[in-house]
């Protein structure tokens, strides 16, 4: 496993259950993953280090968690070394690596999305904003850890966002180009499918909570909680998303010489005119992955290997009918400046709660202590018969954790409960 977040802890948790998994290593891992795998001191973005370790240690299969090594071509390098890997090639990972590429691909193959413009010139971007009017969305073209999207209610806000990204370099080289696009209205959902290069098998849909604070207030984050199933994605809606979005995208990528393998994650806005794509990601969502694996009944490793080998079968995936929900506990100050090294107590009590697993996202061990080592630090995840029951279990477990320097939203799941 490559990565160190809550997503990677959840994937390790699912993979370690497989009888096919004789030995599991994680680069670099975290304090929670250390209970399931041998953590090795190699950064997720260290392509040479990961490939070298895999070759030297006879690793049979590599699962790449985060987007950065995927865009950097880690799967290509592993393939060149004769090591099977789960994830797209660098050329396929451009679906996430460049928002402009993704929008152009949608336009070429009729995938429904918002109208847009691509700009490398500040004045041209601002002229487009003045022409289209607000509300409007300004995005850094490249990877920005989920924070490169700015929703603008006024033209002034949008022009300021262009300055922040392109002139202020808020996201570094990711902002060399911006995409300015229509602000879509409706209800957002996260839709996932495993893709083996030719066929796609849908996974369960989820809903994320991006804003930092209750009531969807505050700045955007990497995600403060999620749940599955997402009631807005009915059986008919899932079929529509597959037909209108996932299938033409996969066919388009193949036609362009970029066959897609791995998990395809579509951020979808479901409005009066049906589903439209907000973005594509080329990896499992974080935190959506955490409740997703809690609902998985079948052997996940089997499915991932089959996906990488081009022989995916829908029968490989079975799901519990239950719901699952994750509450992210973050360091105070996140997504702005925050303190590292604060101690977290009570994790054993939380983990002992019925139907609960505490996935670590940003932790490190210091002797017998667990210390916060990131912005999003824990994903307290519960499975139960309904979203309401899962929410109750998750927050009861949160309340067993003693971490004065952390915070969480208290309304994760509100959309589902509102129905």
Dump pLDDT digits (tens) for 89-146.
999 999 999 999 999 999 999 999 999 999 999 999 999 999 999 999 999 999 987 7
Alpha-carbon dihedral sign for residues 87, 231, 110, 310: positive
Give the architecture-level CATH label for domain 323-418. Answer: Alpha-Beta Complex (3.90)
- Mean residue pLDDT of the chain comes to 96
Longest dimension (CA), the chain: 59
Give the pLDDT mean for 27-45: 97
pLDDT number for residue 219: 86
Q: Helix (H, G, I), strand (E, B), or coil: what is residue 314?
A: helix
**In the chain, ranges of CATH 3.40.50.20 domains:** 2-89
Distances (CA, A) of 17 to 25, 297, 301: 14, 11, 9
Nearest to 9 by CA among 348, 342, 391, 376: 376
Q: What is the topology classification, in CATH, of domain 121-176?
A: Dna Ligase; domain 1 (3.30.1490)
Helices 300-309, 6-16: axis angle to 10 degrees equals 100
Tell me which residue has tokens 């300015």: 180
Given CATH 3.40.30.10, say whether it is the number of domain 187-316.
no
Other Cβ atoms closer than 10 A to 369: 11
**In the chain, ranges of CATH 3.90.600.10 domains:** 323-418
Tell me which residue has tokens 């390790």: 12
- Residue 190, strand partner residues: 206, 267
- Residue 383, strand partner residues: 324
pLDDT number for residue 23: 96
Q: How confident is the model at residue 147 (pLDDT cuts 50, 70, 90)?
A: confident
> What percentage of residues in the chain have a pLDDT greater than 90?
97
Dump pLDDT digits (tens) for 380-393.
999 999 999 999 99
Given CATH 3.40.50.20, say whether it is the number of domain 2-89.
yes
Torsion from C-alpha of 17, 18, 21, 24, nearest 10 degrees: -30
Dump pLDDT digits (tens) for 170-200.
999 999 999 999 999 999 999 999 999 999 9
pLDDT number for residue 283: 97
The DSSP secondary structure of 60-88, one letter per residue, reads: -EEEB-SHHHHHTTHHHHHHHTT-EEES-
Q: How confident is the model at residue 345 (pLDDT cuts 50, 70, 90)?
A: very high
Spatial separation of the C-alpha atoms in residues 67 and 45, rounded to whole Å? 9
Spatial separation of the C-alpha atoms in residues 278 and 84, rounded to whole Å? 31
296 pLDDT higher than 80: yes
Host H or E run for residue 53:
helix 47-56
DSSP 283: S
Helices 122-132, 155-162: axis angle to 10 degrees equals 160
Residues in the chain: 419
pLDDT number for residue 220: 84
Helices 99-109, 247-255: axis angle to 10 degrees equals 100
pLDDT number for residue 265: 97
Q: Nearest 5 degrees, angle CA 342-CA 37-CA 209?
A: 55
Residue 274 φ/ψ region, left for φ over 0, alpha for ψ in the -120 to 50 degree band, beta for the rest: left
Spatial separation of the C-alpha atoms in residues 30 and 144, rounded to whole Å? 22
b/e per residue, 213-244, with b = 16+ CB within 10 A?
beeeeeebbbbbbbbbbbbbbeeebbebbbeb
Do the beta carbons of residue 25 and residue 11 sit within 8 Å?
no
Dump pLDDT digits (tens) for 195-245.
999 999 999 999 999 999 999 999 888 899 999 999 999 999 999 999 999
Q: How confident is the model at residue 259 (pLDDT cuts 50, 70, 90)?
A: very high
Q: How confident is the model at residue 74 (pLDDT cuts 50, 70, 90)?
A: very high
Tell me which residue has tokens 């070298």: 52
pLDDT number for residue 146: 75
Sequence-ordered list of residues with C-beta below 8 angstroms from that of 112, at least 6 positions apart, any chain = 106, 244, 245, 273, 274, 275, 276, 277
Beta-sheet strands, E only, within 153-223: 178-182, 187-196, 200-202, 207-208, 211-213, 217-220
419 pLDDT higher than 90: no
């Amino acid at each position: 496993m490559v990565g160190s977040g809550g997503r990677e802890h959840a994937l390790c948790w699912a993979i370690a259950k497989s009888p096919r998994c004789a030995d599991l290593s994680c680069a670099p891992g975290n304090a929670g993953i250390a209970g399931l795998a041998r953590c090795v001191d190699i950064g997720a973005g260290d392509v040479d280090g990961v490939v070298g370790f895999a070759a030297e240690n006879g690793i049979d299969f590599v699962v790449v968690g985060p987007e950065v090594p995927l865009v950097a071509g880690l799967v290509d390098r592993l393939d060149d070394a004769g090591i099977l890997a789960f994830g797209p090639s660098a050329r396929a990972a451009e679906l996430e690596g460049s928002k402009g590429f993704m929008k152009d691909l949608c336009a070429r193959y009729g995938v429904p999305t918002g109208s847009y413009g691509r700009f490398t010139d500040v004045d041209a971007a601002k002229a487009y904003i003045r022409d289209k009017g607000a509300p409007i969305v300004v995005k850094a073209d490249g990877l920005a850890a989920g924070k490169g999207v700015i929703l603008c209610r006024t033209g002034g806000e949008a022009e300021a966002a262009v300055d922040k990204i392109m002139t202020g370099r808020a996201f570094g080289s990711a902002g060399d180009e911006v995409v300015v696009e229509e602000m879509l209205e409706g209800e957002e959902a996260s839709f996932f499918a495993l893709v083996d290069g030719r066929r796609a098998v849908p996974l369960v849909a989820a809903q994320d909570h991006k804003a930092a604070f209750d009531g969807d207030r505050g700045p955007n984050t990497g995600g403060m909680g999620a749940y599955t199933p997402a009631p807005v994605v009915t059986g008919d809606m899932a079929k529509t998303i597959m037909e209108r979005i996932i299938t033409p995208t996969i066919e388009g990528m193949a036609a362009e010489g970029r066959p897609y393998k791995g998990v395809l994650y579509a951020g979808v806005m479901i409005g009066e005119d049906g589903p439209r794509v907000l973005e594509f990601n080329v990896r499992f969502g974080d935190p959506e992955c955490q409740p997703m694996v809690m609902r998985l009944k079948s052997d996940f490793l089997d499915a991932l290997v089959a996906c990488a080998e081009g022989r995916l079968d829908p029968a490989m995936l079975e799901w519990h009918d239950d719901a699952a929900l994750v509450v992210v506990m973050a360091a105070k100050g996140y997504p702005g400046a925050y303190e590292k090294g604060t101690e977290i107590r009570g994790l054993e009590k939380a983990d002992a709660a019925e139907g609960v697993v505490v996935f670590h996202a940003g932790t490190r061990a210091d002797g017998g202590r667990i210390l916060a080592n990131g912005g999003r630090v824990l994903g307290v995840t519960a499975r139960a018969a309904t979203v309401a029951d899962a929410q109750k279990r998750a927050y009861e477990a949160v309340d067993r954790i003693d971490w004065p320097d952390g915070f969480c939203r208290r309304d994760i799941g509100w959309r589902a409960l509102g129905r």
